[in-house]
Amino acid sequence: MTGAPDAESFWEQHHRARRGGSAGNPNPVLEETAGTRHPGDALDLGCGAGGDTIWLARHGWRVTAVDISSAAVERVRARSRQLGIDSRVTGEQHDLARSFPDGQFDLISAQYLHTPFALDRTRVLRTAAHALRPGGHLLIVDHGSTAPWSWNKDADTQHPSPGETAAELALDPDRWSVVRADTPHRRATGPGGRTATVTDNVLLIQRHDRKS
């Protein structure tokens, strides 16, 4: 026994250490993407503090919020009850290395799905692409740079570019297409009001109808 935490206990401790009941702000690329689409069924992979889930539900989406941390899932459930939108929010605890939520979705959001533990991220994201309804979108936003307050303090960590992620997924171009692949910059605000300019790696994929 090494005494090192496993993925579930690491993220459970991370989310239990968060104070206050606020879900936090939604990610701006999620707002931009979902705000132009008719609300349907959404899946928030790695919901964390729940800012994206709450924003989606308040804008009419039916959201399945998924996280490896039971504390994160329960916080999202509690916040949705407080806001009276719990009928549109389902919380599920999943270790995506082992299980994936059932159902089909019009929007699947994978925001900063990074972890210091073993995770076949390509398999998870490919599974997500197959869980889209025809016409649905998979939004993948990765860190292009590391904020000073990130849990990952290794400045040498390299995350895949949008093009590299798309290539790794190797989706059939007759059934999925890349709608957006770019690296926008934004001003981010962290704990204590600290700010920094960060880069996001954005990949948006749409599923099409099956060809006859």
* pLDDT recorded at residue 201: 95
Q: What is the pLDDT of residue 1?
A: 32
Asked whether residue 25 carries a pLDDT value surpassing 50, the answer given is yes
- pLDDT at residue 9 greater than cutoff 90: no
Percentage of residues in the chain having pLDDT higher than 90: 67
Whether residue 157 is predicted with pLDDT greater than 80 in this model: the reply is: no
> Using one digit for the tens of pLDDT, what is the confidence trace for 90-118?
999 999 999 999 999 999 999 999 887 88
* For residue 5, pLDDT beyond 90: no
Q: What is the percent of the chain with per-residue pLDDT over 70, rounded to a whole number?
A: 87
Fold classified for 7-14+22-207: Rossmann fold (3.40.50)
pLDDT reported for residue 22? 56
Give the pLDDT mean for 151-160. Answer: 64
Q: Of 169, 77, 179, which Cα lies nearest the Cα of 128?
A: 169
pLDDT at 2: 42
What pTM did the predictor assign? 0.87
